[in-house]
Amino acid sequence: MKIEFHPEAFQEYEATISFYEGRQAGLGTRFFATVEAALDSILESSDRWPFLEADVRRRLVRVFPYAVLYTVEPKAIVVVAIMHCHQAPGYWRSRVAS
């Protein structure tokens, strides 16, 4: 199985890395490494993490107030959002096929 990103999820991932790197040198790299570790754990056991709603699962990211929201499709795990846990929950819903 492989990981694929919804285009908007990838854009927000890159933007968040840049944001943290702009706040403090190396912090963007730490965010990247932490999210990558979360993605690795999803690959290892995609059904381990709880459903947020419908077919969307949520894997919280350590240290940072973010979560990886994803669906499990037949050929890939699709990341629909790298969501800040304290801002506008649900903005990502339009990215999920009904």
Which residues are bridge partners to 77 per DSSP?
Answer: 3, 72
* Residue 97 pLDDT grade (very low, low, confident, very high; cuts 50, 70, 90): confident
Annotated domain spans of the chain = 2-88
- Looking at residue 98, its pLDDT comes to 55
> How many CA atoms are closer than 13 Å to the CA of 89, on its beta-carbon side?
9
Over residues 24-47, the mean pLDDT reads: 98
> Please, what is the average pLDDT of the chain?
95
Lowest mean pLDDT segment, chosen from 6-15, 44-53, 88-97:
88-97
How many other β-carbons are positioned within 10 Å of the β-carbon of residue 37?
12
Over residues 37-46, the mean pLDDT reads: 97
- Looking at residue 91, its pLDDT comes to 87
pTM of the predicted model as reported, rounded to 2 decimal places: 0.93
The class of domain 2-88 in CATH terms is alpha beta
